[in-house]
Amino acid sequence: MHYEGSRGGCVCSFEEALFSGLAPDGGLYVPVVWPSLTPSAISGYAGSPYAFVAHDVIFPFLGSCISKNEFRVMVEKAYSGFTHPAVVPLVQTGANDFILELFHGPTMAFKDIAMQLISGLMDHMPCDSGRHKTLLCATSGDTGAAAVEAFRDCQNMDLFILHPKGRVSEIQRRQMTTVKEGHIHNIALEGSFDDCQRIVKTLFSDCVMRERFCFSGINSINWARIVAQVVYYISAAASLGAPHRKIAFSVPTGNFGDIYAGYVAHCMGLNIERLIIGTNVNDLLTRVLRTGVYEVQDVIATQSPSMDIQLSSNFERLLFDLTGRDSSCIAVMMESLKLYGRFVLDEALCASLHHLFCSYSCNEEETVWTMKDVFRRTGLVIDPHTAVGVKAARSARSEGAVDVDTVLVTLATAHPSKFPKSVRAATGIFPDLPERVSDLYAEEERYEVLPNDVRTVSCFIETQSRRIRY
């Protein structure tokens, strides 16, 4: 399998896409063709173990970099640490409504699903004859925690995690900062998540730094993150009767990685009726669908901090596909975004977007109200991010964007105990931390506060990196 950059040029292998994260011109990698799944393959996944489906779905994307058997062992290992035997269980909340719980991994958010696998892949493929690697990670809270868990045993690399200071929940912060391993370095940046992401992207595009430190990125701009997330769309759909039953997904969205994985599943042959984007008041995507204008505004802090994002990087991958893979058109849009903070989608592009997607935003009161209402009706305690997804699912149903007899699955992206204050305020229930993480509050924290400035961050990396100098 080969990969191409969304802004043109650069065709590469899976390994190269895995380790470089971002194409040299700032574009994002996508496979040159979509592997396809037949209807009988999809229906055959019903009742299969998650690891089996994961192996089958992901393997065609990998090329020749790993054997089938080695990959089988890797996938088994990645999902062995999940506390639910189904890995991603479905919970029924209405006649045709389901919640897909993606939070049974080690850090209790859906980021574990991809991160547990990507650490195995990176460990398996020593890039550049085993040079010491430096991983960069910008996080709005959950990615960093998942990365710490996934990479804590990988001593042959340094991992630098940038989170926006004071804008992640206490549990999210402690999951990152109480780690003892010396190869993991936490930076609390005086800025927003978008600032963290911008700094990471800037460091990447600095060829000298990139070469010297052998940088890799593990944000969802990394293709390997996306591909691991395609699996649960397919496994959930199969167990609910696809392809014979119509299916739609509602996805609480920030960087557009998770829902884009749903789009990939659709392209591979899973016939999805609709993909519903749920945003909090940082509603860039809802505005794009309504107006056709992609325009970045200031980030507002909410009780669903993992979606406090105004620049949804993976949207570029979708646009690339919807323009018929017109990389020069994408390059022009991204240049406009860089220069003016906005670009405009033409009519044809808007139409193809509306063909599959719809988008709804959810303000803070609606988030609280939805958590409360779901608890009252079903007894289920959901976290604020999931509530944004549920609200969007309900709006889509009531506006007729989804047929009444279509199965509608909302992705539950975090365990409620990660956001105990909001959950208690809404439901009166204080969700206890699962036992495996209950000692978080006793551990000492370790992190460096840095100003929102690329140079300071790059100096910090310089001094802290344990890379063997040569």
> CB under 6 A: which stretch of 250-258, 362-370, 374-382, 435-443 binds ligand PLP?
250-258
Tell me the two tokens of residue 364: 């803070």
Closest CB to ligand PLP among 27 and 252?
252
Instruction: Tell me the closest approach of the beta carbon of residue 241 to ligand PLP, in angstroms.
Output: 26
Q: Going by C-beta distance under 8 Å and a sequence separation of 6 or more, which residues neighbour residue 328?
A: 8
What is the Cα–Cα distance from 5 to 270, expressed in whole angstroms?
Answer: 24
Q: Identify residue 313 by its one-letter amino acid code.
A: S
Round to whole Å and give the CA distance between 227 and 61. Answer: 8
Q: Which of 21, 27, 257, 420 binds ligand PLP (CB under 6 A)?
A: 257
Nearer to ligand PLP, 191 or 257 (CB): 257
On whether the CB atoms of residues 372 and 364 are closer than 8 A, the answer is no
Output 297 or 328, the one with its CB closest to ligand PLP: 297
Contact between 142 and ligand PLP by CB under 6 A: the answer reads yes
Q: Using CB under 6 A, which of the segments 247-255, 324-332, 344-352, 394-402 binds ligand PLP?
A: 247-255
| Binding positions for ligand PLP, 175-214, rule CB under 6 A | none
**Are 380 and 370 in contact, with CB atoms under 8 Å apart?**
no
Cβ closer to ligand PLP: 97 or 258?
A: 258
Q: Is 306 in the site for ligand PLP (CB under 6 A)?
A: yes
272: three-class secondary structure by DSSP: strand
What SS3 class is residue 12? strand
307 binds ligand PLP (CB under 6 A): yes
Candidates 4, 258, 308, 316; binder of ligand PLP (CB under 6 A) is 258
Estimate the crossing angle of helix 364-378 against helix 384-398, to 10 degrees: 80
**In sequence order, which residues have a C-beta less than 8 Å from that of residue 141 and are 6 or more positions away?**
163, 168, 169, 172, 173, 305, 306
In terms of Cβ atoms closer than 10 Å to its own Cβ (0-12, 13-18, 19+), residue 365 is exposed
Q: Are 136 and 203 in contact (CB under 8 A)?
A: yes
Q: Does 252 bind ligand PLP (CB under 6 A)?
A: yes
Closest CA to 316 of 30, 20, 64, 85: 30
Query: What is the signed CA dihedral for 203, 457, 309, 255, rounded to 10 degrees?
Result: 40
Pattern 100-129, ligand PLP, x by CB under 6 A? ---------x-x------------------
Choose, from 111, 133, 391, 418, the residue flagged as catalytic.
111
Q: What number of chain residues touch ligand PLP (CB under 6 A)?
A: 16
**42 vs 371, which CB is nearer to ligand PLP?**
371
Does 253 interact with ligand PLP (rule: CB under 6 A)?
yes
Stretch that binds ligand PLP, among 86-94, 255-263, 329-337, 361-369 (CB under 6 A): 255-263
Write phi, then psi, for 407 (nearest 5 degrees). -75, 125
**Contacts (CB under 6 A) with ligand PLP, residues 370-429:** 385, 413-414
Q: Specify the stretch interacting with ligand PLP by CB under 6 A; choose among 6-14, 33-41, 256-264, 367-375.
A: 256-264
Should residue 256 be labelled a site residue for ligand PLP when binding is judged by CB under 6 A? yes
Phi-psi sector, 305: left (phi>0), alpha (psi -120 to 50), beta: alpha
Catalytic residue check, 111: yes
The span of 56-64, 71-79, 254-262, 342-350 binding ligand PLP (CB under 6 A) equals 254-262
Nearer CB in complex with ligand PLP: 196/414: 414
Residue 220 as a binder of ligand PLP (CB under 6 A): the answer is yes
Binding window for ligand PLP (CB under 6 A); candidates: 147-155, 207-215, 248-256, 427-435: 248-256
Tokens of 310: 């105004």
CB within 8 Å of 138: residues ≥ 6 apart: 162, 163, 193, 196, 197, 199, 200, 219
**Structure token digits, residue 150:** 């996934």
Which of 254, 262, 416, 420 forms a contact with ligand PLP (CB under 6 A)?
Answer: 254
**Closest to ligand PLP by CB, 243 or 305:** 305
Angle between helices 257-267 and 223-239 (to 10 degrees): 60
Q: Which residues form the interface with ligand PLP (CB under 6 A)? A: 109, 111, 142, 220, 252-258, 306-307, 385, 413-414
Give catalytic residues, as residue numbers.
111
